[in-house]
Chains A and B, each alone.
Chain A
Amino acid sequence: MLCDKCKERPATVHYTQIINGVKTEMNLCEQCAAEEGLINNETFASVANFTPFSVQNLLAGLMNFLPEVGNTFVGQQLKCDNCGLTYDMFRQTGRLGCSHCYDALQDELNPLMRRIHGSIEHRGKIPRKTGGIIRARREIDELKEKLEKAVKEEAYEEAAVLRDKIRELEKEFGK
């Protein structure tokens, strides 16, 4: 196969890019690939022989493994009303279209996420602005745990401080 760009040298670098949902496959020679600044041709030259594991492989593997719920019920395939993405489109690209996709496709995404992460319950960071109440609720829970510990250790001064903080937060966010 000859290089798509110069059509002179043999194409040794093959890549796929998806921009705005349009998939383009390119086959370039090393020199043209380097000129395009696409990849570092010397570093990437003999790629294939090392990939013990990668996120994309995992995702592709899992998606093939999971039953195709959407295709079983022809005409009822899950689709995001907000952006129009269907589960089939997601299967092809591994990318979701918008934040509503998580709700619209949840019947198919949840099992997938559970397999990838072992859980579908976020326990990490909560944004300050959007997550005011959730944040406060979690903070109260954490303070209560600390309070319990302080009481057990008979650290009463610390316990009193913690108790006041909990009261303050509960008053502010109405429990």
Chain B
Amino acid sequence: MFEHDNDVVLSSRVRLARNIKDIPFPSIMKDSDAENVIDIVKKAVYSNEILSAQFIEYDMKNINPIERQSLVERHLISPDLAQNTKNGYALIKKDNTVSILINEEDHLRIQTIMKGLNIKEAWNVADKIDDLLEENINYAYNEKIGYLTSCPTNVGTGIRASVMVHLPALSITGQIGNILNSVVKIGIAVRGMYGEGTQSLGDIYQLSNQVTLGQREIEIIENLEGVVKQIINNERKARNDLFTIRRVQMEDRVGRAYGLISNARVLSTQEYMKLMSDVRLGAVLKIIDIDIKEIDELTTNIQPGNLQKILGKQIDPYERDIKRAEYVVQKIKG
């Protein structure tokens, strides 16, 4: 019915933190070290036949703020990397599924991102790229504690697997707090859509592993996947309950959100996210006829950076709200 459980799961990501042997970590390294790191990683990528043809380079100091923000909003780079306009650098695969982030918190981070629930596949791809890079890079590694990272919370495997989930029904039925609290107790971190310290918007949450040392990568992945599958079941059950027991209220709620979103003249990101959550739920429950893939694409495109990129110019927040409304209305009404 749904591809890779995309009725609940928006995307899956895997990130591997790596550092280069004998170069100080980014927190204290000199600019010359940072340049050296960029050279080493680029050389490793370009001397490999499989990798060399696939990537586009982004030098944070040469690309404009809108472009940087857009890359963050599409989850291709981290907010931290976007901030490092001195020596932040990224190599992003042309199909946007792989990013190699250079000079962020660690020398390099290999990130893979896939739609829906696809953590294992994301790990397999990241693992392969890691192997290919390792042919030409000497990683900082220690037999006892594994890959050495700039922060001890990432040491060992250096792996952070995360899944973005949309949980509107658990939120409407008031179960969300309990579920997220119990998930946290078994070593899963919960954050908002754009990572650390961000609030949840549109009932979207990011779940990720907490432990990186002492477990094998595949155990970490399977543990997260298991938790996510349970949450998917809970969310689906809540959706089903709402639709059977509170049908009229749900149709009313979805219909109102749809009415607002398709007729708005001024629309902030926050308001969009709130309405989107109901509209997306309505689409999954077939109360309204919209493809959820189109909604998800819209949700990415209306973010401030992406919107300005699409419009091809920088505009102030209020005018942006007007342009956002125009864009959404046009897309939703087709």
Cβ of A53 under 8 Å from chain B:
yes
Check B65 against A36 for contact (C-beta < 8 Å): yes
Chain A residue contacts of B64, Cβ below 8 A: 37
Known: A129-B135, A130-B141. A55 touches B196 (CB 8 A): yes
> At the interface, is chain A mostly helix, strand, loop or mixed?
loop
Chain A residue contacts of B23, Cβ below 8 A: 98
Cβ of B269 under 8 Å from chain A:
yes
Known: A102-B145, A119-B213, A122-B145. A40 touches B152 (CB 8 A): no
CB-nearest residue of chain B to A122:
B146
Tally A residues with Cβ within 8 Å of B.
Answer: 62
Query: Which residue in A39, A99, A116 is a CB contact (below 8 Å) of B140?
Result: A99
Known: A31-B316, A130-B139, A130-B141. A120 touches B214 (CB 8 A): yes
CB contact list, B134-161 vs A, under 8 A: 134-135, 138-148, 150-153, 155-157, 159
* Nearest CB of A to B9, in Å: 19
Chain A residue contacts of B304, Cβ below 8 A: 34, 40-43
> At the interface, is chain B mostly helix, strand, loop or mixed?
loop
Known: A37-B66, A99-B142. A125 touches B317 (CB 8 A): no
Cβ of B270 under 8 Å from chain A:
yes
Cβ of B255 under 8 Å from chain A:
no
Cβ of B69 under 8 Å from chain A:
yes
Chain B residue contacts of A102, Cβ below 8 A: 142, 145, 148, 155
CB-nearest residue of chain B to A98:
B24
Chain B residue contacts of A21, Cβ below 8 A: 27-28
Cβ of A19 under 8 Å from chain B:
yes
Bound CA span A45–B317, Å? 12
Chain A residue contacts of B4, Cβ below 8 A: none
Bound CA span A130–B145, Å? 14
Tally B residues with Cβ within 8 Å of A.
Answer: 81
Known: A34-B317, A37-B64, A54-B191. A127 touches B134 (CB 8 A): yes
Contact with B along A48-63 (1 / 0, CB 8 A): 1111111110110000
Cβ of B225 under 8 Å from chain A:
no
Known: A83-B28, A122-B213. A53 touches B145 (CB 8 A): no
Cβ of B215 under 8 Å from chain A:
yes
Of A21, A31, A53, A128, the most chain B CB neighbours within 10 A belong to A53
Give 7 new A-B contacts, CB below 8 A, not counting A95-B151, A96-B150.
Answer: A20-B29, A40-B304, A42-B270, A42-B304, A47-B199, A97-B27, A109-B152
A residues with a Cβ closer than 8 A to B are: 17-21, 30-31, 34-56, 58-59, 83, 85, 93-99, 102, 109, 112-113, 116-131, 134
- Identify 24 residue pairs between A and B in the complex whose beta-carbon atoms are under 8 Å apart, listed by A's number: A21-B28, A30-B317, A37-B66, A40-B69, A40-B194, A42-B304, A43-B201, A43-B269, A44-B198, A45-B270, A50-B192, A52-B181, A53-B190, A56-B197, A58-B210, A96-B152, A98-B25, A116-B153, A118-B211, A119-B214, A122-B214, A127-B134, A129-B138, A130-B138
B residues with a Cβ closer than 8 A to A are: 19, 21-25, 27-31, 64-66, 68-69, 72-73, 79, 82-84, 86, 105, 127, 130-131, 134-135, 138-148, 150-153, 155-157, 159, 180-181, 184, 189-194, 196-201, 210-217, 268-270, 303-305, 314, 316-317, 320
